[in-house]
């Protein structure tokens, strides 16, 4: 139990008593005894309270017997002095000093004996006082003697206590190594540059403010910004108002044990040393007497918690600290849980404080590095660098400081070559705040030796260990005590955990790989064996393949890249073939294929051709048209050196329309010319595509390849579809669909059905289109083709858009966009974004529409899709038109029209011409409007677009109406009304009817 310095009689009181040589201050003595008894009771010091009560009774009895009788005065005086000695003795000893308390108990017996004798004397009647006067005088003298004997005995106790006190003072002096200057120097300044943590600050502040006693834990790996976050929290106005000036920051990284922590607290709380009291007692007394709200910030607490002395001492100290209900604690430490046996409120995720967002990381970088021209001009390179640092605040701060004096190109080379070695500040001794490597090593030092092997494995794997509870034992069957090792790594924050996955942040991963690489070939073989088996199992469930692969893809490619340097195995090529169906990950798979060429592996010509064609497919998918063409030419050149069969294979490979379909055959069949045709088609170079695909079709027919011929026929039909030649497109696609059915190609037949549905959609025949697209979607889902199903969903959403059922349209297009993004289909995702923008446009939400369409336009331009970019430009022009900004509208629509004409898209060109005519109409330039709308109408009729032709006819009728040429107006509006009715557009037909009724009234 804590002792109280307030129990000592003050020095002024002692001096006052010594100034009474011939008498005794009865009133002062009784008041002091009452006061001390009350405090002793509150402190739970029962022996002291009891002695105080007994002495007070003796003083009162002595006072009543006769104040001027010398023995009575001495009894009172000596009793009070004896009490003072007892108080001193108790104050210098621990509560558990059994010898002392036994002495106090003996004293109390003697005092009670004195009290009883004096009580008898005081209770006598006047007559008895006379009779027993002699006896009473002797009894009083005996009482005085007893008191003197006890006084002498406790003087001896005090003498011993004095020497003990000197020893304790010397010991305290030896222990007082922590100074306020040291604490101040170890406390970092509150960061001035601090971005991206507002939600965490708010959560921490709200918790502390709304709880009388708060236990807030800021956890996470080194360098994540725990200390800075804690400082920002305690700097908030509401925190300062609650705790006033009673928030104390204690840097525990310079306090290696409990004793030093107590010293640090005494210094922060400015508790002066008190004679005869241990440091813990002084701290306890202070906390007992100062009961206003207080906040202790224990920074870098893992230094104590994981210290060499173990956790028993610090655990015991914390438990006592927790019992002071007015003391709130904010702890920052590495690990996944706070210390002690209490429930901590933990900020952030299950692994603690997360890294910064990309935006916050960028702001931090530029705030430190400054707005240098070379940095501002290369923000993409900086974003890539920050991503490679995993947005860890300490790493960003240190790299940004280097960027202040180092050219960006040089800095990027330094990072590539030296990695975490450059993430340090200054020279000489480094610490956790000035060196990323030093910060990481502090955690590594806490590990058992047995855990280092697992640490090396996790650092090697960029994805970490996904679903580690299920997979870790299968990955590393020869490792022991894996669960214990994972727990240890989490406790040190060397790995993080999220959703069942464990992983390392990039700076930690780079450092561990450099200092603790995998040493065992057996470990690499285990990892390779696991992933080859795993990927073969995953591919069996194609609908879920992309989600599963996303968790492991970087691990797979890194292991293969490492192992192919030794030897390319057939299993490696099989893995690459499987990944050829995972569109989203083509970029990293291409790197693996290129690494095989770099290492000049001795593989067969068939294996080499197979890998090169896989790479071509991936380049086409990624819209890398030039690279794909160059790769095909390499294949042709290489195979001309080989036999005629290989040369024939090259010609057969050209031209498969890979944009509109998933891969069906992986065999080395005739597809090169087909692929080049596909490249031209994707670039909207329709003439070249038509020529190549026609030649490829003829060659397929010559060699009896029905599948290749049907695919080319399908591609030619799609080119007509894109050019708005719907009649020819329908004929070709229907034939191709029949051929696919004959040879049993469900995929090809479903793709043709989807294209036919899209043609009906473009012609405004929505009922037939919906039926076809729904059937096609079901067929794609049945065969596990995610791309085809997403494209059908996209088209169904666009039909709802055309029918003004915007809610259903938005839902379908949003789902389709997500599906495209999931499988890595940039074109489909951009098209959905474009359609969602057009929905906003149709609803008059021009700001949202402009934002989405501008983003979609950029995405189309990025992948080289001229058609999509032109369509977005067209829509942006129409938005300006709707806002009566005719100048900007005319400029955009004219540009879009030129782009459509350049790529041979008649539909887009006709629509732009129609819009330009409408603009002239709105500006009352009827002559120019009539000319443009008439041309547009002819173009729509030429390509079979009934909707466009009817709209132009309606606009021309309205122009005649405005010019009071009612005969021509009636004829045109009647025709337009009929055409709208034929294609099921009742709203537009009603508009024509309204105009006809207006004309009739005016006549």
How far is the CA of 565 from the CAs of 373, 568, 584, 593, 763, in angstroms? Answer: 41, 7, 25, 12, 56
**Nearest CA to 724 among 975, 946, 982?**
946
* Region label for 518, one of left (φ > 0), alpha (ψ between -120 and 50) or beta (otherwise): beta
pLDDT at 465 over 50: yes
Q: What are φ and ψ of residue 620, in 5° steps?
A: -65, -45
User: Which residues have a Cβ under 8 Å from the Cβ of 779 and sit 6 or more positions away?
Assistant: 746, 749, 750, 753, 788
Higher pLDDT, 230 or 57: 230
Distance in angstroms (rounded) separating the CA atoms of residues 591 and 384: 18
pLDDT for 172 equals 46
Stretch 920-934: mean pLDDT = 93
Instruction: Count Cβ atoms within 10 A of the Cβ of residue 606 and give its class: 0-12 exposed, 13-18 middle, 19 or more buried.
Output: exposed
Residue 35 pLDDT: 60
What lies within 8 Å, CB to CB, of 440 at 6+ separation is 222, 223, 420, 494, 507, 508, 511, 512
Average pLDDT, integer, range 607-620: 83
Check residue 487 and give its pLDDT: 94
Split at pLDDT 50, 70, 90, the class of 656 is very low
- The rounded Cα 250 to chain-centroid distance in angstroms is 28
Beta bridge partners of 424: 435
SS3 984: coil
pLDDT of residue 199: 97
Count CA atoms within 13 Å of residue 894 on its CB side: 7
Lookup: tokens for 93: 């000893």
Range 637-660 average pLDDT = 46
- What does the pLDDT read at residue 20? 31
| pLDDT in the model for residue 236 | 96
Cα gap 937→929, rounded to integer Å? 12
**Domain 437-519: CATH class, spelled out:** mainly alpha
Which segment of 442-446, 672-676, 754-758, 947-951 scores lowest on mean pLDDT? Answer: 672-676
Lowest mean pLDDT, pick from 1-5, 49-53, 702-706, 971-975: 1-5
Q: What is the mean pLDDT of residues 199-222?
A: 97
Q: What angle do CA 829, 830, 832 make, to 5 degrees?
A: 65
The rounded distance, in Å, linking the Cα atoms of 572 and 595 is 12
Specify the length of the chain in residues: 1003
The pLDDT score that the predictor gives to residue 653 is 45
Maximum distance among all alpha carbons in the chain?
A: 153
Q: What is the pLDDT of residues 24-47, one digit of tens each?
A: 566 666 666 666 666 555 555 566
336/117 Cα distance (integer angstroms) = 69
In the 8-state DSSP scheme, what is residue 299?
E
Segment 167-180 shows an average pLDDT of: 56
| Phi, psi of 930, deg, nearest 5 | -60, -40
- What pLDDT digit, counting tens, does each position of 550-576 carry? 999 999 999 999 998 888 888 999 999
Is residue 620's pLDDT more than 50? yes
Is the pLDDT at 17 greater than 60, yes or no? no
Integer CA distances (angstroms), 507 to 80, 396, 461, 494, 799, in order? 71, 10, 13, 11, 49
pLDDT (0 to 100) of residue 947: 87
Domain boundaries, the chain: 5-175, 181-346, 358-423, 437-519, 604-740
Residue 535 has phi, psi (to 5 degrees) of -70, -30
Please state the rounded mean pLDDT for residues 159-169: 49
Is residue 638's pLDDT more than 80?
no
What CATH number was assigned to the domain covering residues 181-346?
3.40.50.300
R_g of the chain, CA atoms, integer Å = 45
- Give tens-digit pLDDT for 778-797: 999 888 888 899 999 999 99
The closest alpha carbon to 294, from 274, 271, 260, belongs to 271
pLDDT value of position 154: 65
Q: Which of 182-191, 416-425, 669-678, 943-952 has the lowest mean pLDDT?
A: 669-678
Q: Would you call 744 helix, strand, or coil by DSSP?
A: coil
Distance CA 787, CA 794 (A): 11
Residue 8 confidence (pLDDT) above 60: no
What per-residue confidence (pLDDT) applies to 202? 97
User: 323 pLDDT exceeds 60?
Assistant: yes
More confident residue, 840 or 62: 840
Under the banding of pLDDT at 50, 70 and 90, the label for residue 459 is very high
DSSP helix/strand/coil, 901: helix
Percent of the chain scored above 70 by pLDDT? 84
Helix (H, G, I), strand (E, B) or coil at 424: strand
Task: Tell me phi and psi for residue 691, to 5 degrees.
Answer: -65, -50
Question: Looking at 80-89, 625-634, 983-992, which range is the least confident one?
Answer: 80-89
**Distance in angstroms between the alpha carbons of the first and the last residue of the chain:** 108
CA distance 226 to 331: 9
Predicted confidence band of residue 159 (pLDDT cuts 50, 70, 90): low
**Average pLDDT, rounded, for the chain:** 84
The pLDDT assigned to 192 comes to 94
DSSP 229-295: HHHHHHTSHHHHHHHTT-EEEEEGGG--SHHHHHHHHHHHTTPPP-TT--HHHHHHHHHHH--S-EE
Lowest mean pLDDT among 137-141, 163-167, 362-366: 163-167
Highest mean pLDDT among 17-21, 212-216, 785-789: 212-216
Least confident of 81-90, 331-340, 501-510: 81-90
pLDDT of residue 624: 74
| Dihedral sign, Cα of residue 725, residue 727, residue 728, residue 734 | positive
User: Cβ(632)–Cβ(653) under 8 Å?
Assistant: yes
Task: Report pLDDT digits (tens) over 509-521.
Answer: 999 999 899 988 9
pLDDT over 60 at 165, yes or no? no
Q: In the prediction, which pLDDT does 650 show?
A: 43
Q: Mean of the pLDDT values across residues 530-547?
A: 86
Q: Examine the pLDDT at 162 and tell me if it is beyond 60.
A: no
C-alpha span between 545 and 522 (Å, rounded): 28
pLDDT tens track for 876-924: 999 999 999 999 999 999 999 999 888 878 889 999 999 999 999 999 9
Choice among 270-284, 614-628, 953-967 with the minimum mean pLDDT = 614-628
Q: Which carries the bigger pLDDT value, residue 372 or residue 829?
A: 829
Quote the tokens at residue 487: 């727990």
3-state secondary structure of 9: coil
pLDDT of residue 565: 86
Give the pLDDT of residue 164. 55
DSSP string, 690-730: HHHHHHHHHHHHHTT-HHHHHHHHHHHHHHHHHTT-HHHHH
* Structure-model confidence comparison of residues 603 and 411, the more confident one: 411
Query: What is the structure's pLDDT at 666?
Result: 29
Between 41 and 436, residue with greater pLDDT: 436
On the question of pLDDT at 152 being above 80, the answer is no
Q: Provide the CATH topology of domain 604-740.
A: 1.25.40
Span 535-544, average pLDDT: 82
Average pLDDT over residues 975-1003: 87
Q: How many CB atoms lie within 10 A of CB 564?
A: 21
> In terms of Cα–Cα distance, which of 559, 569, 461 is closest to 508?
461
- Check residue 649 and give its pLDDT: 45
Check whether 806 has a pLDDT greater than 70.
yes
**Residue closest to 329 by CA, chosen among 495, 468, 459, 217:** 217
HEC string of 931-962?
Answer: HHHHHHHHHHHHHCCHHHHHHHHHHHHHHHHH
Least confident interval from 86-100, 308-322, 569-583: 86-100
CA distances from 824 to 45, 174, 546, 583, 817 (A): 76, 68, 9, 6, 10
pLDDT band at 289 (very low <50, low <70, confident <90, very high): very high
Cα-based distances in Å from 289 to 249, 269, 285, 316, 669 = 21, 13, 6, 21, 89
Reading phi first (left if > 0) and then psi (alpha if -120 to 50, else beta), residue 503 is in beta
CA distances from 203 to 229, 348, 762 (A): 11, 9, 52
Q: At what angle do helices 586-598 and 570-579 cross, to 10 degrees?
A: 150
């Amino acid at each position: 139990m804590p002792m109280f310095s307030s129990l000592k009689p003050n020095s002024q009181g002692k001096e006052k008593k010594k100034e009474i040589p011939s008498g005794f201050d009865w009133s002062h003595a009784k008041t002091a005894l009452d006061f001390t008894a009350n405090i002793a009771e509150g402190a739970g010091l029962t022996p002291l309270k009891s002695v105080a009560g007994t002495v007070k009774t003796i003083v009162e009895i002595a006072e009543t017997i006769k104040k001027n009788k010398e023995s009575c005065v001495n009894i009172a005086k000596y009793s009070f002095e004896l009490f003072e000695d007892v108080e001193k003795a108790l104050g210098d000893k621990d509560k558990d000093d059994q010898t002392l308390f036994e002495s106090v108990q003996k004293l109390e017996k003697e005092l009670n004996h004195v009290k009883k004798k004096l009580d008898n004397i005081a209770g006598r009647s006047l007559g008895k006082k006379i009779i027993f006067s002699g006896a009473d005088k002797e009894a009083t003298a005996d009482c005085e003697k007893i008191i003197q004997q006890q006084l002498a005995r406790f003087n001896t106790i005090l003498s011993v206590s004095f020497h003990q006190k000197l020893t304790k003072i010397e010991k305290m002096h030896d222990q007082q190594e922590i100074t306020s200057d040291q604490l101040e120097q170890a406390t970092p300044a509150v960061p001035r540059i601090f971005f991206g943590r507002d939600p965490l600050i708010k959560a921490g502040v709200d918790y502390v403010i709304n709880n009388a006693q708060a236990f807030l834990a800021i956890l996470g790996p080194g360098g994540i910004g725990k200390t800075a976050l804690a400082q920002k929290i305690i700097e908030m106005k509401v925190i300062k108002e609650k705790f006033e000036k009673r928030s104390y920051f204690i840097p525990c990284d310079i306090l290696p044990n409990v004793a030093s922590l107590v010293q640090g607290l005494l210094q922060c709380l400015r508790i002066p040393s008190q004679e005869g009291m241990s440091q813990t007692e002084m701290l306890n007394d202070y906390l007992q007497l100062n009961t206003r709200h207080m906040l202790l910030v224990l920074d870098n607490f893992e230094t104590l918690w994981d210290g060499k002395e173990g956790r028993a001492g610090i655990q015991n100290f914390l438990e006592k600290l927790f019992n002071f209900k007015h003391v709130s604690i904010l702890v920052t430490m590495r690990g996944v849980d706070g210390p002690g046996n209490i429930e901590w409120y933990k900020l952030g995720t299950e692994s603690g404080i997360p890294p910064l967002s990309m935006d916050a990381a960028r702001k931090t970088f530029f705030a430190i590095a400054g707005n240098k021209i070379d940095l501002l001009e290369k923000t993409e390179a900086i974003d890539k660098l920050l991503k490679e640092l995993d947005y860890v605040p300490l790493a960003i701060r240190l790299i940004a400081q280097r960027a202040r004096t180092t050219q960006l190109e040089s800095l990027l080379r330094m990072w590539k070559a030296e990695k975490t070695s450059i993430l340090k500040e200054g020279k000489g001794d480094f610490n956790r705040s000035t060196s990323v490597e030093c910060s990481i090593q502090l955690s590594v030092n806490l590990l058992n030796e047995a855990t280092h092997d697992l640490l090396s494995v996790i650092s090697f794997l960029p994805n970490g260990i996904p679903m580690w509870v299920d997979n870790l034992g299968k990955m590393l069957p020869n490792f022991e005590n894996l669960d214990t090792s994972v727990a240890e790594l989490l406790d040190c924050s060397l790995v993080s955990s999220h959703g069942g996955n464990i992983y390392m942040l990039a700076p930690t991963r780079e450092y561990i790989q450099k200092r603790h690489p995998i040493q065992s070939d057996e470990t690499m073989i285990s990892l390779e064996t696991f992933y080859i088996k795993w990927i073969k199992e995953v591919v069996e469930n194609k609908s879920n393949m992309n989600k599963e692969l996303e968790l492991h893809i970087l691990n797979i490619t890194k292991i293969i890249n490492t192992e192919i340097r030794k030897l390319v195995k057939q299993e490696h090529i099989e893995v690459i073939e499987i990944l050829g169906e995972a569109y989203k990950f083509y970029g990293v798979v291409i790197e693996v294929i290129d690494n095989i060429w770099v290492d000049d592996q001795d593989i067969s010509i068939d294996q080499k051709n197979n890998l090169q064609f896989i790479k071509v497919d991936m380049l086409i998918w990624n819209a890398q048209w030039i690279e794909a063409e160059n790769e095909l030419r390499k294949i042709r050149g290489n195979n001309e050196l080989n036999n005629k069969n290989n040369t024939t294979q090259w010609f057969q490979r050209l031209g498969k329309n890979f944009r509109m379909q998933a891969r069906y055959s992986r065999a080395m069949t005739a597809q090169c010319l087909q692929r080049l045709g596909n490249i031209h088609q994707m670039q909207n170079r329709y003439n070249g595509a038509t020529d190549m695909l026609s030649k490829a079709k003829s060659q397929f027919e010559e060699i009896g390849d029905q599948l290749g011929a049907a695919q080319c026929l399908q591609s030619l039909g799609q080119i007509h579809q894109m050019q708005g030649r719907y009649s020819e497109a329908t004929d070709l696609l229907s034939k191709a669909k029949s051929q696919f059915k004959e040879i049993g190609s469900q995929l090809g037949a479903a793709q043709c059905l989807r294209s036919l549905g899209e043609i009906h959609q473009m012609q405004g025949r929505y009922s037939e289109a919906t039926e076809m697209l729904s059937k096609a979607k079901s067929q794609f889902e049945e065969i596990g083709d995610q791309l085809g199903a997403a494209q059908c969903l996209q088209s169904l959403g666009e039909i709802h858009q055309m029918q003004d059922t915007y809610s259903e349209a938005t839902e379908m297009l949003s789902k389709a966009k997500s599906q495209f993004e999931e499988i890595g289909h940039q074109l489909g995702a951009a098209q959905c974004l474009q359609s969602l923008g057009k929905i906003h446009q149709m609803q008059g939400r021009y700001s949202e529409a402009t934002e989405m369409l501008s983003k979609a336009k950029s995405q189309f331009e990025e992948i080289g899709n001229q058609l999509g970019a032109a369509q977005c430009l067209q829509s942006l022009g129409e938005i300006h038109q709707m806002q009566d900004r005719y100048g900007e509208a005319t400029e955009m629509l004219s540009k879009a029209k030129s782009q459509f004409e350049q790529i041979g898209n008649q539909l887009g060109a006709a629509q732009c011409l129609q819009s330009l005519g409408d603009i002239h109409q709105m500006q009352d330039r009827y002559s120019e409007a009539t000319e443009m709308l008439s041309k547009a109408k002819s173009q729509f009729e030429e390509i079979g677009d009934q909707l466009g032709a009817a709209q132009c006819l309606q606009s021309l009728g309205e122009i005649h109406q405005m010019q009071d040429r009612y005969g021509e107006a009636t004829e045109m509006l009647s025709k337009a009304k009929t055409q709208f009715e034929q294609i099921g557009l009742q709203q537009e037909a009603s508009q024509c009817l309204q105009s006809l009724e207006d004309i009739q009234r005016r006549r």
